């Protein structure tokens, strides 16, 4: 049987997976896991691990490269609540054409043919989103930006520290004490969403400075040229940060899924601002960027 079209759901067991693998792959798994663990895994519901691809590294080591990609697609589909048959078929074709990206997403090293240039990363990821329905795209993009936000070393307190005193005072006076306290301790994008009620306090200069600083911290440093390009990017799209920060930070966001998708997918254009070294660093934590 082929691994193509393999889907993880609440009833999928290890045996369902083993039935899709070759005798050679199953023999490798028995040796790598031990016979006892292999038999235990056969009866186990695979989603009991929460679809955690990283925990499955010993499993991936025994599979053919194509099956690693196909199983990787199944694991990644779980993180966004699944895909329609049409979306999954499109995503699978694209994944097989760019196996290096799936390997990177799984925290594995790809050494075969079909590698991709780092500069193409944004376009390839955009292709995956183009395969999805609107609801799938909204869920996946929300996961993407939430992962970026969670990995940031900055907090809302750092955001406030970037503001001129007049703007910082306006934010403090506009928000309640509880809202302001939550903002200070939140991750950057979450803080921006929590502070949406004080958005009128902020100048475009401050919004751009916040986004550049958050990008700089997330990437471990930006060149002056990249920082200037990102600054220009935000200034040309003044609604960019408020829309997706609000959508991420509040389930009752006034923006629709379609509005969020348009803004969030447009954000992938930021890749074009980055130099080769910065793109290399994105590849190092691609697991946080593609989900």
Nearest to 132 by CA among 76, 186, 62: 76
Average pLDDT over residues 47-76: 77
DSSP code at position 10: T
Sort residue 114 into left (φ over 0), alpha (ψ -120 to 50) or beta: left
pLDDT in tens, 96-127: 988 888 887 777 777 776 555 555 666 777 88
Q: CB-hemisphere CA count at 13 Å for 270?
A: 25
pTM of the model: 0.65
Distance between CA 141 and CA 132 in Å, rounded?
Answer: 11
Distance of CA 74 to the CA centre of its chain: 16
% pLDDT > 70, the chain:
85
pLDDT in tens, 140-170: 877 777 777 887 889 999 989 999 999 999 9
Strands (E), 172-252: none
pLDDT in tens, 208-226: 998 899 888 878 889 999 9
The pLDDT value given to residue 92: 92
pLDDT in tens, 19-30: 999 999 999 999
3 state SS for 138-164? HHHHHHHHHHHHHHCCCCHHHHHHCCC
Sort residue 164 into left (φ over 0), alpha (ψ -120 to 50) or beta: beta
Q: What is the dihedral of CA 164, 165, 166, 172, to 10 degrees?
A: 120
């Amino acid at each position: 049987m082929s691994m193509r079209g393999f889907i993880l759901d609440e009833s999928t067991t290890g045996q369902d997976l083993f039935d899709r693998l070759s005798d050679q792959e199953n023999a490798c798994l028995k040796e790598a896991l031990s016979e006892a663990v292999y038999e235990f895994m056969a009866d186990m519901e695979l989603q009991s691990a929460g679809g955690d691809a990283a925990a499955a590294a010993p499993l991936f080591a025994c599979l053919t490269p194509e099956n690693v990609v196909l199983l990787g697609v199944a694991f990644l589909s779980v993180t966004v609540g699944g895909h329609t048959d049409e979306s999954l078929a499109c995503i699978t074709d694209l994944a097989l054409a760019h196996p290096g990206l799936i390997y990177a997403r799984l925290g594995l090293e790809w050494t075969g043919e079909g590698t991709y240039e780092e500069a193409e990363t944004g376009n390839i990821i955009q292709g995956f989103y183009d395969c999805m329905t609107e609801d799938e795209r909204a869920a996946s993009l929300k996961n993407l930006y939430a992962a970026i936000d969670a990995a940031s070393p900055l907090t809302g307190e750092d955001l406030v520290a970037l503001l001129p005193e007049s703007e910082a005072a306006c934010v403090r006076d506009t928000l309640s004490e509880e809202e302001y306290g939550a903002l200070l301790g939140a991750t950057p994008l979450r803080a921006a969403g929590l502070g949406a009620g004080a958005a009128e306090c902020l100048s475009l200069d401050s919004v751009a400075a916040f986004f550049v600083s958050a990008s700089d911290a997330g990437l471990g440093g930006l060149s002056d040229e990249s920082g200037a390009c990102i600054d220009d990017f935000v200034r040309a799209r003044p609604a960019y940060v408020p829309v997706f920060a609000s959508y991420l930070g509040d389930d009752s966001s006034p923006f629709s899924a379609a509005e969020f998708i348009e803004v969030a997918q447009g954000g992938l254009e930021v890749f074009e601002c980055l130099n080769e070294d910065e793109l290399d660093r994105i590849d190092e934590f691609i697991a946080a960027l593609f989900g």
